[in-house]
Amino acid sequence: MITANLISKKRDGEPLNRDELNTFFNGYLTGDVTDAQMSAMLMAIYFNGMNEAETFTMVEVMLDSGSRMDFSDSEQYVADKHSTGGVGDKVSIILAPVLAAVGIKIPMIAGRGLGYTGGTIDKLESIPGFNTSPNLEQFKKWVNQSGYAIIAQSKNICTADKKIYSLRSKTGTIPSTPLICSSIMSKKIAEGISGLVLDIKVGNGTFMKTKENGQNLGDWLKKIGSAFNIKTDVVYSNMNQPLGRYAGLSCEIQESIDCLKGKGPSDLIKITLELGSHLLIQSKLAKDKKTAYKILEEIIDNGKALKTFISSVEIQGGILNNFELNNKPKFEKIINIDREGVIANMDTESIGWSLVQLGCVAQKKGEKLDFTAGIEFYKKTGENVNKNDPIFRVFGARKKQVEYAGEILKSAVKVRNEYQHIPLIL
C-alpha cells in the first residue's frame, strides 16, 4: 500500500479498513512512515473523524503494538480511573491509595503534562527518588504489595500510542474524539483491569468545552469499554475553574496529602468520593452511592488511606521527609483584584498557560520542570471580593517566569455583581 494514498483517502473522508490502519500505524513504528506523514494522517482524522470499526481497530492497533498486564489471578477487583485533564486535577494521587486501602487493586498508567494541563507523573516526580519507569514485572509487584502503583507509560505498553501521543501535542490534533478514545482505552485495557471510571472534564479549562462534546466522548469510551469487556462508568465534572486551592507540581502533592489527612478543599474531596463510589459499586463492595461515600470517608478518617499512600511512595523509591521544605520556592508574587464584587468567571485555560510559563508543563522533550512552581488560589468562583484583595499567589524558582505568569493571571478573573452557579458534578 502507498502511504500517500492512505493519507489522501482519509483526507477525502473515506474510511480505512483494518489492513490499511495496521499498515500505516505499524509503519510509523518501523520508520516506514515519517513524522510528516503521520502528522498529515492525524490532521485528516481530526477533521473527518472515524467510524466505529475504525475506532475499535485503532484501539487494537495500539494494544497489539505492546505488552499487556495480567491480573486474572487476583482475588481483588482490579480497576482504574482516568481523567481527560484539567488545571489542578490531582484526583488520581488521592483516589488510588483510598481505593487500595478499601481493597480494590489499582494498576495506574498515568500521563505527563499535555498542552496546558498538568501531568500526574510530573507531579509525582517532584517527590525525590520516586520511580515512575519500572519494568512491567516490577510494576505488577508494586501493585500487589501496596494495592496500587502509578507509573508513566512504559515503552512496552501501547508503544504506538506513546509515539503518537507526543506528535499530537505538536500538531494541534489533541481534541480528536477517535484519537482520544484509542489513546485512553488502549492503555487502560492493557493494564488488565475489569473496571474503569472516567472523569470527563467539561468547561473552559479543558479540551471538551461543552457538555455535549463531553457526552459524545463519554458515549464512545463506554462503547469501547463494553466491546473489550470492561465495566465503564462516566462522570462529567466542571472545569470552569481550577480544582482545589493549588495548581502546579509539588504543591499539588502537598494538597493531595492534606486531602488524605481529611483536610482538603471540598471540591477536591467531592470529586474524589464521587469517582471512587462508582468503583465501589462496580466491585460490589458497596450497594449504593451513599454506602460507598461512607466507606471512602471512613478510610480517610481512620488514616488507612494516608498510610497506604506513604507506603506506596516508599516502595516506588520516593522520599517524603522534609518534602514541603525542600520544595519551597525562591520567588513569589501576589496578584490583587482591581474591583469589588463576586467572582463570576475564571479563565482556566489562561491559568493553565501561566503554569506552562512557570515551568510546570514541558513544551518540548527533555525540558526541565520547576517542581517548586505553582499557583495558590485565594478566591474562586462565587466568592465575594473587595478591591485590592489578594486573589492569586504565584511562586517558583525563576523570578522572570513568576513575573510573567503574574501578568497573565491579572486578566484571568472576571468580577461582577452576581454569579451563576455551575455544579461540580454535571
Orientation of helix 266-282 relative to helix 91-102, angle to 10°: 40
Instruction: Tell me the torsion sign for CA atoms 28, 34, 38, 39.
Output: positive
Based on the residue annotation, tell me whether 186 is a catalytic residue of this protein. Answer: no
For residue 1, CA distances in Å to 16, 17, 318, 410 come to 12, 12, 49, 54
Query: Which residue's C-alpha cell is 475489569?
Result: 194
Cell numbers representing residue 47 in the block: 477533521
CB 273 within 8 A of CB 297: yes
For residue 388, CA distances in Å to 241, 401, 418 come to 21, 23, 19
Cell numbers representing residue 410 in the block: 491579572
β-bridge partners, 345: 414
Reference 250, options 325, 153, 151; nearest CA is 325
Based on the residue annotation, tell me whether 187 is a catalytic residue of this protein. Answer: yes
Strand 195-202, strand 79-83: pairing: parallel
Based on the residue annotation, tell me whether 168 is a catalytic residue of this protein. Answer: yes
Burial 266-286 (b: 16+ CB within 10 A, else e): ebbbbbbbbbbbbbbbbbebb
User: Which one of the listed residues 81, 82, 140, 278 is annotated catalytic?
Assistant: 82
User: Which one of the listed residues 81, 187, 231, 393 is annotated catalytic?
Assistant: 187
Reference 150, options 93, 194, 200; nearest CA is 93
User: Which one of the listed residues 80, 89, 122, 161 is annotated catalytic?
Assistant: 161
DSSP codes of every residue in 320-346: -TTHHHHT--SEEEEEE-SS-EEEEEE
Q: Which residues are annotated as catalytic?
A: 82, 161, 168, 183, 187
